[in-house]
C-alpha cells in the first residue's frame, strides 16, 4: 500500500500545537492507529499535552479547555487518494471519502476529504490540483 506524504499542517484557528481535546491519552489512539502519527513528546504543565509527528509535520493535542468542535487542521498531502485508502485500512470506519474540490484563499484548488476525530477535531486532508 502506498502511503501519502503529509507535507504541511495549517490550523483553522490559532495554534496547530494546542489543538483542544478532553482527554489526551484517549485521543492519542486514533492519531497513531488511523492517521499514522507517532508521539514525540508529552507534557503535564501547564496542562496535559502531547506532540505528534508524521512525515514533515507536527501537531499538538492539549487538555486546554478549548472547544474541539471549533478547531482542527488542514493537512496538505502528496496523494489524497492514498491518504484515504491508508486511513480506511487503519480503521477510519467509512468506505466513501466524499472527495470534493475546494478553492482556498488565493484561488488554490485542492482535492479534499474530511475526517472528524473521535475527540471532535475536524481535519481537511487535501492534494493540490492544477488549475
Q: What is the pLDDT of residues 53-63, one digit of tens each?
A: 999 899 999 99
Structural domain total, the chain = 1
Is 38 contained in some domain? yes
Backbone φ and ψ for 114, nearest 5 degrees, come out as: -115, 145
Backbone φ and ψ for 42, nearest 5 degrees, come out as: -130, 155
pLDDT band at residue 104 using 50, 70 and 90 as cut-offs = confident
Is 66 contained in some domain? yes
CATH number at residue 45: 3.10.180.10
Cα(66)–Cα(85) distance, rounded to whole angstroms? Answer: 31
Domain interval for residue 97: 6-129
Give the per-residue pLDDT at 2: 78
Is 89 contained in some domain? yes
pTM: 0.94
Beta strands in the chain (DSSP E): 6-11, 19-20, 38-43, 49-54, 57-62, 72-77, 100-104, 108-116, 122-129
pLDDT over 70 at 121, yes or no: yes
Is 1 contained in some domain? no
Is 22 contained in some domain? yes
pLDDT over 90 at 98, yes or no: yes
Amino acid at each position: 500500500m502506498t502511503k501519502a506524504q503529509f507535507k504541511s499542517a495549517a490550523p483553522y484557528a490559532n495554534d496547530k500545537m494546542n489543538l483542544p481535546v478532553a482527554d489526551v491519552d484517549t485521543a492519542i489512539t486514533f492519531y497513531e492507529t488511523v492517521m499514522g502519527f507517532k508521539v514525540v513528546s508529552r507534557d503535564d504543565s501547564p496542562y496535559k499535552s502531547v506532540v505528534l509527528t508524521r512525515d514533515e509535520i507536527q501537531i499538538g493535542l492539549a487538555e486546554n479547555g478549548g472547544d474541539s468542535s471549533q478547531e482542527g487542521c488542514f493537512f496538505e498531502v502528496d496523494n489524497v487518494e492514498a491518504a484515504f485508502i491508508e486511513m480506511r485500512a487503519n480503521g477510519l470506519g467509512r468506505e466513501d471519502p466524499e472527495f470534493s474540490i475546494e478553492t482556498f484563499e488565493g484561488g488554490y484548488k485542492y482535492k479534499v476529504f474530511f475526517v472528524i476525530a473521535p475527540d471532535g477535531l475536524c481535519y481537511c486532508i487535501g492534494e493540490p490540483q492544477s488549475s
